[in-house]
Amino acid sequence: MCVCVCVFLSRFHEALDLCKLSGSSADWAELGKACLVHMEVELAIQVYRMSGNVGMVLSLQSIQVQLIHIDIQYVSLLLDKRHCFSLF
């Protein structure tokens, strides 16, 4: 099975294994982009790290921290805990 088929089927971990074996730079880029489209940020960080794209790794790590803060704010809204906003 090729990387593009695994990505199409959303089998990102299998695609990662195939990229490790014989992935071209285009395969790595396609997998990284697909992970981001499906909000698999942690896996995208791993993919870009393995492909050597340091800029994307740093950017995604920054976004990942921001997403955690947004998640905390939404949970606070759901629990009606407005005082949690002052923490961030």
Q: Are 44 and 19 in contact (CB under 8 A)?
A: no
Domain hosting 47: range is 3-87
Query: Cα separation of 62 and 74, whole Å?
Result: 19
Of the two residues 79 and 34, the one the predictor is more confident about is 34
Query: Cα separation of 42 and 57, whole Å?
Result: 10
The pLDDT tens digits of the residues spanning 14-28 come to: 999 999 998 788 999
8-state DSSP, 23? -
Total number of domains in the chain: 1
Encoded tokens for 8: 């199409």
Of the two residues 52 and 69, the one the predictor is more confident about is 52
The answer on pLDDT for 42 being more than 60 is yes
**The model's pTM:** 0.73
Angle CA 60–33–56, to nearest 5: 30
Query: Cα separation of 85 and 88, whole Å?
Result: 6
